[in-house]
Structure 1
Amino acid sequence: MRVFWLRILTFICLNVNIVMVFVTVAKACDHNGVACSFLKEDDACDTIGLESRVVINELMVDPTPEVGLPAQEWIELVNISDSRVNLDSWELMVGGTSRLLPAYWLGPGEYVILCSVTGIDMLSGLGPTLGFQLPALRNSGNRITLVTPDGKIRDEVSYSDEWYGDNHKKEGGWSLERIDPQRSCGEHANWTSSRDSSGGTPGSRNSVFSPNPDEVEPQLLGVGVISPNVARVTFSEPVMADSTCFYLSGGLGAPDRLEFVSASVIHLIWDKGLQLNVTFQLTIQGISDLCGNMMSQVLQPIEWIKLEPGDVVVNEVLFNPFPGGCDFVEVLNHSSKRVDMALLSLAGRDSQGELRQKIGIGSTGIALEPGELFVLCESKEGVTSFYVTECESCFREVSSIPSFNNSEGWVVLLDANDQVIDELHYIEDMHHPLISNVKGVSLERVNPDIPASDKGNLQSASAAVGFATPGYKNSQWMTETSRRVSLEIQNAAISPNNDGYNDALIIRYVMPSPGWMANGWIFDLSGTEMVRIAENLILSTEGVLQWDGSDPIGHLLPPGPYILMLEMYDLEGHIEKFREAVVLTGQ
């Protein structure tokens, strides 16, 4: 209940027929249902002005599994202004759902937890709560907007599960916390997962609270031409721009119009199209982020290209991963063209041969340079936890990739017009017959110059590299064949004392074709087997075998002369044998 006392002082000036009315307000207010004392006559009224900032400060969008907080979704607000604010009839928009907040006075520096009515009892012990019909919060990819009764947006957050910065925490039970409540721009760099052991800090200062001004200029992530008239420009964060920020050489000039695909992705549209296979220079300048940081001028070559079959190929596929791992597809730009990944899609085929589960590979406008690889998967960690990679930046995570059957399947690369650029048809029997368990073993393309369907052009990845090569050269890669095995022994005299000099016997090999295997032994001069360094080991087409001077249980053998025996063979009956004297020294 609000009570207003008005004292009206009226002075009448008869000469000029003017009535002057002075109003002094003394107020008693209803503060969340509790009457407060009258204010002095010179006290100001609480207002909802620009200076009265209430911001979204913490989000619990995925409360299960529980870490230490109740399994309830909630949104925490904080008043960072110097005035009390009445939230009565403020609008909370979550995605496409809108709700009006009940009356609630939020004092300067105070927090309130917005939750469902049923969540009040469970959350009220953690801080002040405001229960109402809270819209459901998606685990990722949602926008929350706070709007005053007069239609002014007070705060807006478009959150993502990438903000957690921790794959474990994004599985649930942890809140997302705002680092600096005063910062109203560059939100992607101002939120992270809670560090509190309970999983969040509802009703109190965030565990990650810290001044966090944005002083970093936006970066250009990529430019790709997706049609003769449209170039897609992608920035590292939301930006402010108009047509005058872009200029294209060749007489095309500034784009005729812009289309904001998102806050950080812009389509530049020219009425006059770009010529095919002609390189143009795009100048980008005058771009700033939402915090006002100006981006340095960028000169970016762009080109409208037409993809031909074989320009981009499926280079490796894992369709039967280890438990806890995930399928992946490795793609190679086998052309001399800069290929915008937004032009590519990946699909499978059903039993009738029809395309299914088509997904876009890249919507960011990032170019795939000639000779570059990328690995498409649902979880980078689901690949790198099991295999070595030489290119951490080559991974592209997507929400889902086509499902690949363990026994047989198709991997299809499509261009922007759904024309097949490359296709790989695999069956489990393509794996090396001596591999007893093919789980976790990828199929690699031997030669990208010939169709993947050609006999022998798909081979099991070598055991020597861990049965997969995501993001780097295939272990079975070969474009030319030789007639014999090539072998080179390095460091025939070794001193394994970890001084970095001749610590191991190095055996470099080049095989005449994929699918060769090796057995290797070390004997003493009496012919006694001391250690087996390879046993039916599936080799790469070229690679290295090593021996560090130790026996089967890791103890160094006594110094002295030894004999290296190697036997290399394939399934067609070819056998190559080698014998070499080696010396193990004590120093």
Structure 2
Amino acid sequence: MRRAVILITLLAIFVSIYAQIVVNEIMSNPPGTDEEEWVELFNISDSDVYLDSTWFISDGEGDYYFEGINIPSGGFLTILFRVPDTGEVHIVPDIDISEVSHGIRLANAEDDVIIGNSFGIIDSVTYQDSWAPDANNTGKSMERIHSTVRPNDPDNWDASIPDWGTPGEPNSITAIKEYPYIPDKFVISVTPNPFNSSCVISVNSDYTTYGKMLALDGKILHNWTLPAGDNEIIWAGKDMPSGLYIFTAKARHQQVSVPVLLIR
């Protein structure tokens, strides 16, 4: 019983922190030879999220581990990576790591921005300069239009209206510029959860879905490719010990992760 309580508590903790911090704004290609580079994170959850030393931000080559900072519900966090030789910047960052050896350098044309923690990747963007042409070498940032969905959809990003973006504030284009947007159907459920002998994973998507069951260390336990429509997977966790696992599914521009708790 004690073990079950511990595992259920772990599940609650997982649900409370997973997939709630998103990459919301990127300054990667300022004017001329200016090297002012920064990223804004946004807490889309209903509760505060504390970024301890297990949380990191990366461009796929360098990385920086946070040292303990809170992002309130609906709040923003700005991280300054680089400054020009003049030292003049147009942002008052929450975190300035421009003089820290972290190896992060945001390329003008294409690069990755990854936010994660000990559970895995929380949100990631692989941006291209074609997503927001008006942000190339102009002093405008790239802003995410719909913060809760589609991080890698080019139509979900555009140039900021004001020069130098809106760091630490709501994006300028989210509520002003109208975009035709119909959310794709993508619903996942796991029952029962927690489970003992087997669970049923239901996936309903408008597109082909690629699913994985992961251990907490990131090891892939099983892969599935599911056609568009309603699908059900039975997973028994054969030969696996009690513990927390992660079912992650990707369909088109969307990715969803669900904690799955096995109690023997």
| TM-score, L = length of structure 1 | 0.27
2:47 alignment counterpart: 83
> For the residues of structure 2 that align with 1:288 and 1:155, how far apart are their CA atoms?
15
Residue type at the aligned position of 1:289: R
Question: Which of 156, 163, 174 is equivalent to 2:124?
Answer: 156
Describe the superposition over 1:25-75 as per-residue Cα deviations: whole angstroms up to 9, x where unpaired: xxxxxxxxxxxxxxxxxxxxx988346711111000012239xxx851101
- Tell me the SS of whatever aligns to 1:162: helix
Do the aligned residues in 2 keep the contact of 1:127 with 1:204 (CA within 8 Å)?
A: no
| TM-score, L = length of structure 2 | 0.56
> For the residues of structure 1 that align with 2:80 and 2:151, how far apart are their CA atoms?
26
1:182 alignment counterpart: 148
**CA positional deviation for 1:288:** 5.0
Are residues 104 and 47 of structure 1, via their aligned partners in 2, closer, same or farther at CA, if it must alter by over 3 Å? Answer: farther
- Aligned identity (percent) is 25
Residue type at the aligned position of 1:201: T
Describe the superposition over 1:514-539 as per-residue Cα deviations: whole angstroms up to 9, x where unpaired: xxxxxxxxxxxxxxxxxxxxxxxxxx
Do the aligned residues in 1 keep the contact of 2:35 with 2:83 (CA within 8 Å)?
A: no
**CA positional deviation for 1:159:** 0.1
> For the residues of structure 1 that align with 2:19 and 2:128, how far apart are their CA atoms?
27
> For the residues of structure 1 that align with 2:155 and 2:172, how far apart are their CA atoms?
16
> For the residues of structure 1 that align with 2:38 and 2:121, how far apart are their CA atoms?
20
Describe the superposition over 1:467-503 as per-residue Cα deviations: whole angstroms up to 9, x where unpaired: xxxxxxxxxxxxxxxxxxxxxxxxxxxxxxxxxxxxx
Q: Counterparts in 2 of 1:384-399, with a 5 A limit?
A: none
Q: Counterparts in 2 of 1:339-378, with a 5 A limit?
A: none
Describe the superposition over 1:388-410 as per-residue Cα deviations: whole angstroms up to 9, x where unpaired: xxxxxxxxxxxxxxxxxxxxxxx
- Tell me the SS of whatever aligns to 1:64: coil
Residue type at the aligned position of 1:79: N
Do the aligned residues in 2 keep the contact of 1:52 with 1:85 (CA within 8 Å)?
A: no
RMSD: 3.6
**CA positional deviation for 1:105:** 1.1
Do the aligned residues in 1 keep the contact of 2:38 with 2:82 (CA within 8 Å)?
A: no
Are residues 165 and 154 of structure 1, via their aligned partners in 2, closer, same or farther at CA, if it must alter by over 3 Å? Answer: same
- Residue 201 in 1 paired to residue 170 in 2? no
- Residue 110 in 1 paired to residue 79 in 2? no
> For the residues of structure 2 that align with 1:81 and 1:290, how far apart are their CA atoms?
21
Question: Which of 124, 136, 140 is equivalent to 1:170?
Answer: 136
Do the aligned residues in 2 keep the contact of 1:55 with 1:155 (CA within 8 Å)?
A: yes
Describe the superposition over 1:326-358 as per-residue Cα deviations: whole angstroms up to 9, x where unpaired: xxxxxxxxxxxxxxxxxxxxxxxxxxxxxxxxx
Residue type at the aligned position of 2:29: D
> For the residues of structure 2 that align with 1:165 and 1:64, how far apart are their CA atoms?
13
- Residue 289 in 1 paired to residue 244 in 2? no
**CA positional deviation for 1:101:** 1.9
- Residue 143 in 1 paired to residue 112 in 2? yes
Do the aligned residues in 2 keep the contact of 1:47 with 1:83 (CA within 8 Å)?
A: no
Describe the superposition over 1:375-433 as per-residue Cα deviations: whole angstroms up to 9, x where unpaired: xxxxxxxxxxxxxxxxxxxxxxxxxxxxxxxxxxxxxxxxxxxxxxxxxxxxxxxxxxx
Are residues 204 and 122 of structure 1, via their aligned partners in 2, closer, same or farther at CA, if it must alter by over 3 Å? Answer: farther
- Tell me the SS of whatever aligns to 2:47: coil
- Residue 98 in 1 paired to residue 98 in 2? no
Are residues 96 and 186 of structure 1, via their aligned partners in 2, closer, same or farther at CA, if it must alter by over 3 Å? Answer: closer
Do the aligned residues in 2 keep the contact of 1:174 with 1:194 (CA within 8 Å)?
A: yes
Tell which has more relative contact order, 1 or 2 (C-alpha 8 A, sep 6+). Answer: 2
Do the aligned residues in 1 keep the contact of 2:37 with 2:106 (CA within 8 Å)?
A: yes
Is there any run of 5+ residues in structure 2 with no aligned partner, and where? 1-12, 186-206, 211-223, 228-249, 256-264
Describe the superposition over 1:508-561 as per-residue Cα deviations: whole angstroms up to 9, x where unpaired: xxxxxxxxxxxxxxxxxxxxxxxxxxxxxxxxxxxxxxxxxxxxxxxxxxxxxx
Do the aligned residues in 1 keep the contact of 2:111 with 2:126 (CA within 8 Å)?
A: yes
- Tell me the SS of whatever aligns to 2:31: coil
Are residues 82 and 171 of structure 1, via their aligned partners in 2, closer, same or farther at CA, if it must alter by over 3 Å? Answer: same
Are residues 156 and 214 of structure 1, via their aligned partners in 2, closer, same or farther at CA, if it must alter by over 3 Å? Answer: farther
> For the residues of structure 2 that align with 1:289 and 1:47, how far apart are their CA atoms?
25
- Residue 63 in 1 paired to residue 36 in 2? no
Number of equivalenced pairs: 178
> For the residues of structure 2 that align with 1:111 and 1:137, how far apart are their CA atoms?
20
- Tell me the SS of whatever aligns to 2:68: coil
> For the residues of structure 2 that align with 1:170 and 1:203, how far apart are their CA atoms?
21
> For the residues of structure 2 that align with 1:209 and 1:161, how far apart are their CA atoms?
19
> For the residues of structure 2 that align with 1:60 and 1:193, how far apart are their CA atoms?
10
**CA positional deviation for 1:184:** 3.8
Are residues 52 and 85 of structure 1, via their aligned partners in 2, closer, same or farther at CA, if it must alter by over 3 Å? Answer: farther
Describe the superposition over 1:563-583 as per-residue Cα deviations: whole angstroms up to 9, x where unpaired: xxxxxxxxxxxxxxxxxxxxx
Do the aligned residues in 2 keep the contact of 1:142 with 1:159 (CA within 8 Å)?
A: yes
Is there any run of 5+ residues in structure 1 with no aligned partner, and where? 1-45, 218-237, 246-286, 293-587
Do the aligned residues in 1 keep the contact of 2:141 with 2:164 (CA within 8 Å)?
A: yes
